[in-house]
């Protein structure tokens, strides 16, 4: 099973990726984790990424794709993987597709978590209020204003992937507003019993 999870910030992609990986014995591939691991390993691509990040620059698509290509060769990816946080743009999706093709692999599905953005913003507002009321610290980036900006970036850069994968017959859309367990079950149903049984 080789999957991509799509959805705006706060949709629960990370939570669902972890659950998918645990339930189906596949690897959870988070690009942030992979970048940090490549740097820690001191691989050639990790050294290149480290130099770019040290300058404060964004790691270019070709470097990220190379890190993903290296990572999917690890034994824990033999049964499959779920990508969380990549691709973020159509250009990255095209590069990922070429890399998978070169490795004689195909994606099984791109699962889009459909969410009510207004409800996501309200959730963040409620959480911030509850944390402040309890005297707990609130992270600077854990506000409705920051989330709104991240959602705007998602709309511009990442949302076009929904049409991209729909056009390729790979898109599965799941209601991401339910309870965590319900969303997990909906993802399993969307990708189909054949994939889950692999």
What residues are labeled active site?
A: 13, 88, 127, 139, 150
Q: In what order do the strands lie in the sheet with 27-30?
A: 27-30, 81-84, 2-6, 109-114, 171-175
Long-range contacts of 164-171 (CB under 8 A, 24+ apart): 164/90, 164/93, 165/4, 165/6, 165/93, 165/110, 165/112, 170/107, 170/108, 170/109, 170/110, 171/109, 171/110, 171/112
Residue 145 to residue 154: CA distance in whole angstroms = 14
Per DSSP, what are the bridge partners of residue 58?
A: none
């Amino acid at each position: 099973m080789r999957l991509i999870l799509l959805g705006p910030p706060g949709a629960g992609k990370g939570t669902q990726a972890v659950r998918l990986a645990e339930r189906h014995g596949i690897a959870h591939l988070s690009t942030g984790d992979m970048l940090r691991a490549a740097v820690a390993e001191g691989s050639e691509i990790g050294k290149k990424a480290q130099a770019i990040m040290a300058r404060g620059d964004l790691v270019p698509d070709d470097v990220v794709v190379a890190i993903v290509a290296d990572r999917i060769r690890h034994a824990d990816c033999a049964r499959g993987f779920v990508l969380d946080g990549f691709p973020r743009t159509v250009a990255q999706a095209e590069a990922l597709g070429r890399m998978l093709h070169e490795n004689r692999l195909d994606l099984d599905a791109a699962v889009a978590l459909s969410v009510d953005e207004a409800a996501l913003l309200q959730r963040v507002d409620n959480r911030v209020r509850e944390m402040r009321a309890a005297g707990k610290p609130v992270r600077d980036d854990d506000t409705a204003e920051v989330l709104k900006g991240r959602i705007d970036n998602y709309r511009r850069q990442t949302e076009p992937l929904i049409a991209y994968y729909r056009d390729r017959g790979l898109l599965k859309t799941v209601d991401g507003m339910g309870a965590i367990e319900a969303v997990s079950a909906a993802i399993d149903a969307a990708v189909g019993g054949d994939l889950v049984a692999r």
